Amino acid sequence: MSTPPRLEVNNLSTCFHTDEGAVHSVADVSFAIHPGQTTALVGESGSGKSVTSLTLMRLLARTARTTVSGEAWFVDREGRRVDLLQLPEAQMRRIRGNQIAMIFQEPMTSLNPVFTIGEQIAESVRLHKGADRRGALAQALRMLELVEIPAAAQRLHEYPHQLSGGMRQRVMIALAMACDPTLLIADEPTTALDVTIQAQILELMRRLQRETGTSILFITHNLGVVAHHADQVAVMYAGRIVETAPVRELFARPRHPYTQGLLACLPARQPRFSGVSGPRRLIAIRGQVASPFAPPPGCAFAPRCDHVRAECDAAMPALRDDGAQRQTRCVLTHADLGALAA
């Protein structure tokens, strides 16, 4: 793309030091998000998706013993390019919730139960925009109307427990969008919602993105959502990105064996690379993710891979550039991977 990325992450790593040993939850992660683009971060639970987002937002628990390295270059509203990981905390607080906002996984635990919905949204507006209480509440009401909450003026003075799960999720979106961020991090924004509400929430986010030009980092394990709402996809496994590609390319021609395994697990999909046509049994990737305290010596996916070779255990494969905005972390050649996907 011709425009510079709004967020460019280079070699991001997050290590937790525990009494049992070091856990590399995120290792050597790199990706970029351009203005108005949605990039999906996909992978199984425990693959490092949420830790990546919390590292970028500088929201890792203060009591955790962590080591963070790498770069996260963000272009702010004034056009300045800043490294989020190196900013003093005071400057990061001016960006967090203002220019970069986040929708957390569980709205009931993310919203404060002792404050009204309006007060929680207004607090962010007062902090970052300098509005007075009346002006901040007016903005909170406008945001609730924007996310299509019925009887918004009434809901403004209600507490989180008085709202349904879908309405709480809309409140989280309203809270995140209240200060017109240029980058929105959505961490499993439709978790625990029924499919009808899920579709409404996703369409709402899509409409707000069209209207505001906000870039979105969409964290999910739901490949159906990714297919309909992402522009670019980064697949994570055991803390590392194993494949990146435009969404249509990824679904049409997945190259990494792990990506192929994920797509093969979809109940309604009969992938071309399986060599089978018609109805089939549900497929599951064999084995389990290796313990973070004892990772394999080379490729983390090697113990579960049907195409493993001797060199897979020798060293961690590099993330190879395959052209056309595609990257793959595998010892198999471009031709080999293409043959597997054919």
pLDDT 10s digits, 298-333: 999 999 998 888 889 888 999 988 877 899 999 887
Q: Which of 55-59, 224-228, 243-247 has the lowest mean pLDDT?
A: 224-228
Whether residues 191 and 286 share a domain: the answer is: no
pLDDT averaged over every residue in the chain: 88
* Inter-CA distances, 149 with 88, 146, 156, Å: 37, 8, 10
Look at 235 and 210; give whichever has higher pLDDT: 235
pLDDT over 90 (residue 84): yes
Lookup: tokens for 44? 């199984």
Whether residues 331 and 223 share a domain: the answer is: no
Q: Residue 60: what pLDDT?
A: 93
pLDDT over 60 (residue 1): no
pLDDT over 70 (residue 129): yes
Q: Three-class SS of residue 147?
A: coil
Residue 291 counted as domain residue: yes
Residue 132 counted as domain residue: no
Residue 329 counted as domain residue: yes
**pLDDT digits 0-9 by tens, 25-38:** 999 999 999 999 99
Whether residues 189 and 84 share a domain: the answer is: yes
Whether residues 90 and 230 share a domain: the answer is: yes
Distance CA 238, CA 226 (A): 20
Average pLDDT, stretch 75-101? Answer: 94
Q: Residue 245: what pLDDT?
A: 95
Which amino acid appears at position 276 of this protein? V
CATH of the domain at 64: 3.40.50.300
Look at 169 and 340; give whichever has higher pLDDT: 169
> How far separated are the first and last CA of the chain, in Å rounded?
28
Domains in the chain: how many in total? 2
Residue 142 counted as domain residue: no
Average pLDDT, stretch 227-248? Answer: 94
Distance CA 122, CA 137 (A): 5
Whether residues 188 and 320 share a domain: the answer is: no
Residue 118 counted as domain residue: no
Distance CA 275, CA 18 (A): 45
Whether residues 207 and 308 share a domain: the answer is: no
Distance CA 336, CA 342 (A): 10
Whether residues 74 and 182 share a domain: the answer is: yes
Residues in the chain: 342
Q: What is the dihedral of CA 116, 119, 124, 130, to 10 degrees?
A: 180
Residue 146 counted as domain residue: no
Whether residues 189 and 335 share a domain: the answer is: no
Domain with 284 in it: 254-341
pLDDT over 60 (residue 167): yes
Residue 201 counted as domain residue: yes
Confidence band, pLDDT 50/70/90 cuts, at residue 46: confident
218 by Cβ neighbours in 10 Å (0-12 / 13-18 / 19+) ranks as buried
Q: What is the dihedral of CA 124, 127, 132, 136, to 10 degrees?
A: -10
Distance CA 82, CA 160 (A): 35
Run of H or E residues at 327:
strand 326-329
Whether residues 185 and 227 share a domain: the answer is: yes
Which amino acid appears at position 305 of this protein? C
Distance CA 173, CA 264 (A): 32
Lookup: tokens for 252? 């049409």
Q: Residue 293: what pLDDT?
A: 87
Whether residues 99 and 193 share a domain: the answer is: yes
Q: Nearest-CA neighbor of 57 among 22, 10, 23, 93?
A: 93
Average pLDDT, stretch 37-66? Answer: 93
Confidence band, pLDDT 50/70/90 cuts, at residue 12: very high
Q: Residue 212: what pLDDT?
A: 86
Residue 104 counted as domain residue: yes
Q: Residue 277: what pLDDT?
A: 58
Q: Residue 233: what pLDDT?
A: 96
**pLDDT digits 0-9 by tens, 175-198:** 998 898 999 999 988 776 778 877
